[in-house]
Amino acid sequence: MLRHQVGDSLNIVDGLGNWYEGQISEANPKACEVKITHQKEAYQKLPVRIHLVVAPTKNSTRFEWLLEKATEIGVTDITPLFCQRSERPKVREDRLQKVLVAAMKQSLKAYLPELHPAIKISKWWKQENLWNSFNKRYIAAVIEKEQTLKANYQGGDTLIMIGPEGGFTNQELQMGQANGFAPVSLGPTRLRTETAGIVACHTINLFNQ
């Protein structure tokens, strides 16, 4: 049995920023027609691009939770990144895409974050087209407390890299700095990967509100 009937009102999003309000004009088990009554363009569009490049956690549920919450908070791009210390060698991108869609709808957003193909960090540095359009580029590290993201962030389109449970290696951090990624701390305590991702998204969003 269908949950909605002819005449019921619906809100519809397309993941591209369009928010539609409409009424069901025809309903049956195989098809549904909706008459659009109102449309909002660029609905709740983020003022800046936020690209979260993050190592998948060993526990897949935790990584899915991170993507869900990052979508709710606000992020435009997500790239799963396999690092030298990564304990998870692959991800199911089809499943992750479903998590993003569900989170977008649940949080009443009209934009679906773009899920980029998972990539090894050795190849990441060679794909400048993926990151050189971001003038603010950061790589999370355990460093002096003065070098926090909060203290160094100035707003604008932002890309931040979050490492695996064991953190980035010294070589990876050096490569990041060589490519214009400023090392920043996310606080005085050691954070899980998924927690670090949430802290980064929330901090960047707050500074751009």
Q: Could you confirm whether domain 50-207 is CATH 3.40.1280.10?
A: yes
Kindly list the distances between the CA atom of residue 100 and the CA atoms of 67, 71, 113, 131, 180, in Å, as whole numbers in the listed order.
7, 7, 7, 21, 29
CA-CA-CA-CA dihedral for 177, 85, 191, 68, to nearest 10: 100
Q: Work out the percent of the chain whose per-residue pLDDT is above 90.
A: 63
**pLDDT tens-place string over residues 37-76:** 888 888 889 999 999 999 999 999 999 999 999 999 999 9
The set of residues, in sequence order, having a beta carbon less than 8 Å from that of 33 and lying 6+ positions away, is: 24, 25, 26, 27
- pLDDT surpassing 60 at residue 1: no
**pLDDT tens-place string over residues 78-103:** 999 999 999 988 999 999 999 999 99
pLDDT of residue 200: 95
Domain limits, the chain: 9-40, 50-207
**pLDDT tens-place string over residues 134-163:** 989 999 987 766 688 877 787 889 999 999
pLDDT of residue 144: 65
Kindly list the distances between the CA atom of residue 11 and the CA atoms of 7, 36, 106, 164, 184, in Å, as whole numbers in the listed order.
13, 9, 12, 38, 40
| Confidence at 20, pLDDT banded by 50, 70, 90 | confident
- pLDDT surpassing 90 at residue 121: yes
Mean pLDDT of 96-118: 96
pLDDT of residue 145: 62
Assessment of whether the complete model's pTM goes beyond 0.85:
yes
